[in-house]
Structure 1
Amino acid sequence: MNSRLARPRNDRWIAGVCAGLARRFGWSTGMVRLLFLLSCLLPGPQILIYIVLWVMMPNE
């Protein structure tokens, strides 16, 4: 498990939040993106959390 949470420069689709989370926890980037998209089908603040992480996570 990588100890630093940061948005990568080369594996981004929108902002790199899902790729950064995947690298931090040692998960597949595609799986994290899929889980995020599926979670958007449920009620809740998923988009708001994504935006907050986008602002707070540093670039690599």
Structure 2
Amino acid sequence: MTATTLSRPRHDRVLGGVCAGIAARFGLTPWTVRGLFLLSCLLPGPQFLVYLALWVLLPQEP
């Protein structure tokens, strides 16, 4: 299994592609990462700010 670089894919996106990019990088399904993100939103913390920062900072897949 080859590791892919962390980037936002052009396919399988729902909003910005951040969860799909993380899922591809770590070999998970995008819906698993999206579910974990939604569950993390129940906890206090800057989840939305981190998501927005990753949306801006992660390069788009070529």
Runs of 4 or more off by more than 6 Å in structure 1?
Answer: none
Structure 1 residues without counterparts, runs of 5 or longer? none
Q: What's the counterpart of residue 51 of structure 1? A: 52
Instruction: Give per-residue Cα distances to partners, 1:30-55, cap 9 Å, x unaligned.
Output: 10000000101111000000000000
Q: TM-score, normalised by structure 1?
A: 0.94
CA distance in 2, matches of 1:3, 1:11: 16
Deviation at 1:2, TM superposition (A): 2.0
SS of match in other structure, 2:14 = coil
**Aligned-CA RMSD value:** 0.9
Residues 4 and 24, structure 2, Cα contact 8 Å, conserved in 1 = no
Q: TM-score, normalised by structure 2?
A: 0.91
Structure 2 residues without counterparts, runs of 5 or longer? none
Size of the aligned set, in residue pairs, is: 60
Identity of aligned residues (%): 60
